[in-house]
Amino acid sequence: MKIVTPPSNRPSSSSASSTSSTASVTPIGGARHWLARLPPGLFGIVFGLLGFSSAWRRLGSFATGYTDLIATALLALSTALLALLLLLWLIKMVRFRSDVQRDFAHPVHGAMLSLISLSVLLCVAIGLPIYPQYSEIAASVTFAALLWQGVIALRVVARATTNDLPADMVTPALYLPPVGGGLIGALALNALGSHGWAVLLFGMGVGAWVLLEARVLNRMFAGPLPPPLRPTLGVEIAPAPVATLVAATLWPELPADVLLIGIGISCGPLIAVLARWRWWTSVPFSAGFWSFSFPIAAFASVIVEAVRRGGWPMEVAYGAVLAATAVIGFLVARTLMLLFRGRLLPSG
């Protein structure tokens, strides 16, 4: 994966106005060893599969068939993949510290590093209700993940609010640390039984969404993102359906009508991303396109919850989950093709 590198960390007013013409595209993690080229975006695969397993689990709460078996298999697969990637990244941090530091310092890759902790938090939120005997371990893991998430979120917010972020580096991926951390962190804390702290974190996530929305939308209205950044457009769909899903989890008594409002709000970003289909279909497929997976899975989960609470036909819930299955199945197939061709990791 390649991303756009700004000409300087703090561009002057004259250089800021010409960022799009002077920025260059450079590979991130371009060392020869494959482990040094391991991008944080691969955790997006885990993140999407975890969300997908949750959609099937919710469907299984009132539907018959093999839904629970599918959800359990997806959870096992995503947890195993998470453990593997965490091990590989731990080795990378020891052997290739400079590459990790470069990723952390980069405006976009630094934000995507939060996918590591987001995946851990989501794994806790989904797995703990099923395996409550691991609550003590889950509490420690959640605290560490939230701490890491907070560090990255503070860095992103500081850059976005102090004019330290060139225009070409503004991308929906900026939502991941502050917004994703607040919303997914709320799910993890709620699973641990800390409802009050979960509600507080939920509010922080929504507040961060409001704070960054104007900056990101302004960039989206200005024209296409640089080609290497276009796979991150999927993240633009995420805040509304994820916030609705978290609200439904924190307050189980919310009626279906409230969830419908959230679904309606979620349709706006979804339509906007689909309207820009030429932007993201004009670039080669990469693991970065997994940015679409979790938002689509969250959308399906919200629809399932609305169907369950509203007493509507189950076919609507099945249709939503099957649509998400089609999208994620496509992503899996294309990702396996990249893996078998030796093109999953950035060249270097």
Least Cα distance to 187 among 316, 57, 327 occurs for: 57
Residue 29 has a pLDDT of 41
Tens of pLDDT along the chain (348 residues) come to: 444 455 444 444 433 333 333 343 434 444 468 888 899 999 999 999 999 999 999 999 887 779 999 999 999 999 999 999 999 999 999 999 998 999 898 889 999 999 999 999 999 999 999 999 999 999 999 999 999 999 999 999 998 888 888 888 899 999 999 999 999 999 999 999 999 999 999 999 999 999 999 889 888 888 899 999 999 999 999 999 999 999 999 999 999 999 999 999 999 999 999 999 998 899 999 999 999 999 999 999 999 999 999 989 999 999 999 999 999 999 999 999 999 999 998 876
Q: How far apart are CA 79 and CA 301, in angstroms?
A: 19
**Residue 156 token pair:** 């992103």
Q: What are phi and psi of 312, to 5 degrees?
A: -85, 170
DSSP H helices in the chain: 13-16, 19-22, 43-60, 67-95, 97-105, 107-112, 114-127, 135-161, 181-191, 195-222, 239-250, 256-275, 277-281, 293-310, 314-340
Assess contact for 182 and 241: CB atoms under 8 A. no
Residue type, 246: V
Please give the backbone phi and psi of residue 5, each rounded to the nearest 5 degrees, phi first: -105, 125
Rounded to two decimals, the pTM is 0.89
Report the run of H or E that residue 168 belongs to, with start and end. none
CATH architecture of 40-340: Alpha/alpha barrel (1.50)
Using an 8 Å Cβ cutoff, are 113 and 104 in contact?
yes
28: left (phi over 0), alpha (psi -120 to 50) or beta: beta
Q: Residue 24 — φ and ψ, nearest 5°? A: -120, 155
Locus of tokens 């700004």: 6
Please report, to the nearest 10 degrees, the dihedral formed by the alpha carbons of residues 68, 70, 75, 78 taken in order.
-170
* Half-sphere exposure (Cβ direction) of 21: Cα atoms closer than 13 Å: 5
Give the torsion sign (CA, 152, 155, 158, 163).
Answer: negative
Handedness of CA 14, 19, 20, 22 (dihedral sign): positive
Whole-number CA gyration radius for the chain: 19
- The four Cα atoms 5, 89, 143, 300 give a dihedral, to 10 degrees, of 80
